[in-house]
Amino acid sequence: MILIEKKINHRKFILIINSIVEEDVEAIVNPANEQLAHGGGVAGLISRRGGPEIQKESKKKAPVKTGYATHTTAGRLPFKAIIHTVGPIWRGGYQKEPELLRSAVLSALQLAEQLKLKSISLPSISTGIFGYPLEPAIKIIIETIIHFLKTDSSVEEVHLCEYSEEKAIEIKTIMEKYFGDF
């Protein structure tokens, strides 16, 4: 279910309630750890649904530093790629977490651009088991997406995908607070 759909520089931003593995996009973003060990959360879901090839390929690309991204094939999933980005673990906000989160989001979007993808879906990176508080994380994630969509890019559509309706509505409220009508 689409909660927000906005045009930015002739490109589209969508806040959607959906399972990321069921998104209708060319690539999805996996909020990974540095070792690209896809055990739980969104990473585990992607790995289970996509098959063992994703984890096997990821092991060859690990480690990936926090704030950076890499990609693999999508295994059995219907995407052109899985982009694995490493967001920061929340440690109180004094260990460069905002900069690292911004870098993780931007790295994923830039990698989509390098891969010449037209559409990408990402979750609210670092707000799950990495413990980043939702409001400051969403502010950074949305600022980064808006800035990216204002550039000249092959990426025409970016989804912020949330499985939990409750969390998605909270994200919508945060977005309205900070960004109004964009």
Contact 13, 5 (CB under 8 A): yes
First to last CA, the chain: 20
What is the pTM assigned to this prediction? 0.97
* pLDDT at position 49: 96
| Residues of the chain scoring pLDDT < 70 | 182
* pLDDT at position 181: 76
Separation CA 130–CA 147 (nearest Å): 24
Question: Domain residues of the chain, as ranges?
Answer: 2-179
Helix, strand or coil for residue 97? helix
Separation CA 41–CA 39 (nearest Å): 7
Class of the CATH-defined domain 2-179: alpha beta
* pLDDT at position 135: 98
Helix, strand or coil for residue 72? strand
